[in-house]
Amino acid sequence: MSDSPIWPVFLAEATPLVLNGRRFDSARPAVMGIINRTPDSFYASARFEDLPSALARLDDLVEAGADLIDIGGVRAGQLGDWVEAAEEIGRVLPFLEAARARYPDLLLSLDTWRAEVARACGHVRIDLVNDTLQGADPELVGVAAELGAGYVVSHTGGSAPRTDPRGVTYGPMTATGLRRDEPDDVVADVLDVLATGARTAVAAGIPAERVLIDPTLDFGKTTRHSLRVLRATAQIASLGYPVLQALSRKDFVGETLDLPVDDRLEGTLAATAVAGWLGTVVFRAHDVRATRRVVDMVASIRGDRPAALNRRGVPGSGH
């Protein structure tokens, strides 16, 4: 038998998220279901243009175990037509009103980068403003504070709204004036942008327990960048704010495994397990039931969550 010492496994400390009196932490991570009120979402199964189908999807997500629902009215990337603010409001507001009437206590997140849209929807009681474009509208964080909502700080490398990454680099300048792409530098940039954005949100009046930080994989990143940032989740969690990861069926999963969007579930769940182990508290997901099971299992392996049953090998249990 080896005399080698058994070294402990050091686990990243996950900062809890508290929204409308509900707490999510490493023992009880949150799963955020996705409803896109768009005709051009990258994942066809998440497109719900008419209100009845969107509400039917809402029922499915709640039944599958979603803790909060993220509603968006504009595709993030550049494909598809430009959507003005009035049209975005017309897509998301009727759904938010119907969802709030249907589930008065359900946590609702509005996925928008526009202050105008968040303000127009504020009477519904928005619990979270998911700003996926790194403060492209600097007024949005203030509107979130006015509404008493939480706020998602994202990292997109400074990309403008409705654009896809092109020639993205985060490396230092070379002697010729060109940037050298070093994957470690993307982590430094992510940490700096998220820390700065979180401080800005707190200064705007949002309590730190309601400020989520999202490294925003794929946005302003190559697949190489996204994989590197995912491995650095523990460093992101060490900033002291609850971490959101939006991993579901993204291009970095598809390019890593050379798979189309419909075949990316297993890769997504592998990334989800890693992110959960490294301190993520909120998971934005299309596949809510599978994600719920993965994050709960990871929480139990970490020792943060007790098993639902403990009968195997216990006297009198019949196992």
Distance CA(163)–CA(74), nearest Å, equals: 12
- Indicate the SS3 state at residue 47: strand
In the chain, what are the domain boundaries? Answer: 17-302
Distance CA(252)–CA(267), nearest Å, equals: 10
Are residues 89 and 117 in contact, defined by beta-carbon separation less than 8 angstroms? yes
Distance CA(280)–CA(294), nearest Å, equals: 13
Q: What is the CATH number of domain 17-302?
A: 3.20.20.20
* Whole-prediction pTM: 0.90
- In the structure, what pLDDT confidence band is assigned to residue 78 with cuts at 50, 70 and 90? low
Helix (H) or strand (E) holding 229: helix 223-231
pLDDT in tens, 145-199: 999 999 999 999 877 665 666 777 786 644 444 455 565 589 999 999 999 999 9
- In the structure, what pLDDT confidence band is assigned to residue 257 with cuts at 50, 70 and 90? very high
- In the structure, what pLDDT confidence band is assigned to residue 268 with cuts at 50, 70 and 90? very high
Are residues 15 and 243 in contact, defined by beta-carbon separation less than 8 angstroms? yes
Residue 289: how many other CB atoms lie within 10 Å: 16
Distance CA(44)–CA(39), nearest Å, equals: 8
